Amino acid sequence: MGGIGLTRRLSLSRAGRFTAHALQTRLALLLLDAVMITGIYTILVVMRFDARIPTGYWTGFGWFVAVGLVVHLSINASFGLYSAVWSLASSSEARRVLSAGSLSLVVMTVVAFADRSAVPLSLPVVGGVFVTGACGLLRFQSRLFVQRRSLEAKKEEALTRVAVIGAGAAGAQVVRSMLEDEGHTYAPVLFLDDDVRKVGKRILGLPVHGPVSRIAEFADDIDSVLIALPTADSSTVRRMTRLVEDASLPLKLVPHIRELLADDDGEKSVSVRDVRDLQIDDLLGRPEVTTDLDAVRSMIKGRCVVVTGGGGSIGSEIARQISEFEPGRLLLLDCDETHLHDARAKIDPSVGAESILVNVRDRARVLRIFESVRPELVLHAAALKHVPVLEDYADEAFKTNIAGTDAVFEAAAAVGTDRLVFISTDKAVNPSSVMGATKWFGEQLLLDRAPEGSNWSCVRFGNVLGSRGSVLPTFERQIRMGGPVTVTDPRMTRFFMSVQEAVQLVLQAATMTDGRNIFMLDMGEPASIMHLAEQMIRLTGQEPGVDIDIEITGMRVGEKLHEELRSSNEDVRLTAHPAVRELLPKRLESKTLSALIHTLSRAVVAEAPNDELAVLIRTLAKIGQQPTDQIQPHLQPH
């Protein structure tokens, strides 16, 4: 007990000392302001009369200065100019100094106007300007002079000399952070910028050179390059990256603006601690996606939501984002217990997400679950998706991607689910693989099974960065093993987007559903897989073909050189969101679709060889896109 009392007394003693120190600091600043205000007004009066001040003038002037002290000091106090930590001051504090000075100037002008015999009207105006400037200089002097000393000191230390690309607000913020923060090894040397209006000027004591294409000229003066362009799109980052690579310099960057935190004023702030290595996402990513959050929240809040494939890379992100919109109940369905457990762990426990271990192939159990919870919104992401694997296991692809999808649609229709979203893929367009063909059948099933008056849709997009079906994890693993990195064809391209962006747009598309819809996400420009492999090798500090070989293996069965987001017979219609398009596809007649699927089902039940079944699935998907009279001859028993 005595120990606790002693600890409490020590804490109170420290708090008292801190409070006393803060009070002393405020009083000292207030006294300095008082001396400064008196001095400025006195000097201006002396200058106004060329040091020959009229007899009797001092009485009126003394009254004016006394009022001025009360006005300036009280307004400064009301704007918090005696409570800020000025060594850490930012633009917010600078605005407060200007606001306090402007208000004081107006009040003092009114005071002088009320008694024009006391002082000339020019005194409060000119004096107010000088007082405001002096207040700012007094408060920011520590930062100004410490920053200058820091710049000179860092140039002499054995630190990493950095050239900063981008002489804008972000570049200035990160350089200022380098000068003030001791916990890093960077010494800023110069800026590079393509803006000719900035070239030749100095920012924070550093020269601005340009254009950025001249970077090789400064290679002997710098050790590294920092890209400080947080609002730049991926094409700009790629161009800057190539220039830096050509100069054989290490590269880091400030993340995109969406990754940065906002300060108290809602502005995005940048510091040296935000600096990180270049990632492949930076080269493939696109401008920040905007989402109508109110519409998404209105769709989800208070409702029962089911996510199938909730343990997958896409399904788990869908569940995570949905959890932020206050669903009434959130259920994750998956057949993999580990992935299901990991996905649930990413969700805020307060949401109370439920996980159900079930395979969508189990038609009866899926129906029982839906009858029990009666979901109002279903997002169907459960699927087998590895293209080469499914070529060897076409029967498994049918059971999950076609029969399992049909089971989910049947259950949702049975319980009156109003809104359902089926996650499709660009591989469903003119499918050449088993995986793509089964996804095409899934799209047709949704168009056929959606109840009248419901809002069901498919959302079609390309590869997702970092997902378990993406090429990126394969490249990363091969690079870690020392190579070779395998590329099937140097001409191959693919569409890429981040999983966060894809899910945002999926939820946005879901709010726009008004019947049976197929939506296509804007995937930007396709990326070269060969160039992607080279970039990933360089990001590890190695050189393609020198440190890590790239091996061309040849295209596999089912692969395309270039993916498509829509077929030639699908019309496109704009939506309210610039990154979402609606497609108007050909819809199979119900009896024709049922006949095609029945043909496949009989082949699976008969345990047809997988190579034959793979050919049949791909063939029927292509036939299904033909005129109806050309389909019937192919619907014979297998």
Q: SS3 string of 17-79?
A: HHHHHHHHHHHHHHHHHHHHHHHHHHHHHHHHCCCCCCCCHHHHHHHHHHHHHHHHHHHHHHC
pLDDT at 142: 55
- Cβ–Cβ under 8 Å, residues 493 and 562: yes
Which amino acid, one-letter code, is at 467? S
Comparing C-alpha atoms, which of 167, 168, 150 is closest to residue 159?
150
Place of tokens 């920092």: 226
What is the spatial distance between Cα 107 and Cα 97, in angstroms, rounded to a whole number?
A: 16
Classify domain 157-278 at the CATH superfamily level: NAD(P)-binding Rossmann-like Domain (3.40.50.720)
Distance set, CA 58 to CA 42, 119, 138 (Å): 10, 10, 28
The SS3 call for residue 301 is: strand
pLDDT at 477 over 70: yes
pLDDT at 186: 82
Within 161-217, where are the H helices? 169-180
pLDDT at 39: 84
Distance set, CA 196 to CA 163, 208, 212, 584, 605 (Å): 17, 10, 11, 48, 71
pLDDT at 527: 83
Within 214-336, where are the H helices? 234-246, 280-284, 293-300, 313-323
pLDDT at 57: 67
Identity of the highest mean pLDDT range in 76-90, 382-396, 565-579: 382-396
pLDDT at 224: 87
pLDDT at 338: 94
pLDDT at 499: 85
DSSP run (H or E) holding 433:
none
pLDDT at 469 over 70: no
In eight-state DSSP terms, residue 181 is -
Of the chain, the percentage scoring pLDDT greater than 90 comes to: 34
Which amino acid, one-letter code, is at 62? G
Tokens found for residue 13: 């003693």
Comparing C-alpha atoms, which of 330, 322, 329 is closest to residue 297?
322
Higher-confidence position of 402 and 253: 402
> What average pLDDT does range 442-449 have in this prediction?
95
Of the chain, the percentage scoring pLDDT greater than 70 comes to: 82
Q: How confident is the model at residue 466 (pLDDT cuts 50, 70, 90)?
A: low
Q: What would the pLDDT profile of 299-352 be if each residue is shown by its tens digit?
A: 999 999 999 999 998 999 999 999 999 999 999 999 999 999 999 998 988 888
The SS3 call for residue 421 is: strand
pLDDT at 357 over 50: yes
pLDDT at 355: 95
Tokens found for residue 351: 């949401």
Q: How confident is the model at residue 83 (pLDDT cuts 50, 70, 90)?
A: low
Q: What would the pLDDT profile of 12-58 be if each residue is shown by its tens digit?
A: 444 444 455 556 767 777 888 888 888 888 888 777 776 666 666 66
Domain map (residue ranges) of the chain:
16-145, 157-278, 293-462+498-522+566-623
Q: What would the pLDDT profile of 88-106 be if each residue is shown by its tens digit?
A: 455 667 788 888 888 888 8
- Cβ–Cβ under 8 Å, residues 282 and 234: yes
Which amino acid, one-letter code, is at 606? A
Domain 293-462+498-522+566-623 has CATH 3.40.50.720: yes
> What average pLDDT does range 596-614 have in this prediction?
93
> What average pLDDT does range 538-562 have in this prediction?
86
Q: How confident is the model at residue 265 (pLDDT cuts 50, 70, 90)?
A: very low
pLDDT at 365: 97
What is the spatial distance between Cα 257 and Cα 318, in angstroms, rounded to a whole number?
A: 23
pLDDT at 216 over 80: yes
Full DSSP string of 309-364: TTTSHHHHHHHHHHHTT-BSEEEEEES-HHHHHHHHHTS-GGG--EEEE--TT-HH
The SS3 call for residue 624 is: coil
> What average pLDDT does range 184-197 have in this prediction?
86
pLDDT at 518 over 90: yes
Q: What would the pLDDT profile of 115-163 be if each residue is shown by its tens digit?
A: 666 677 778 888 888 888 888 777 766 555 555 545 555 455 557 888 9
pLDDT at 9: 44
Tokens found for residue 249: 């310099």
- Cβ–Cβ under 8 Å, residues 429 and 565: yes
| Mean pLDDT for all residues in the chain | 82
Q: What is the CA radius of gyration of the chain?
A: 34
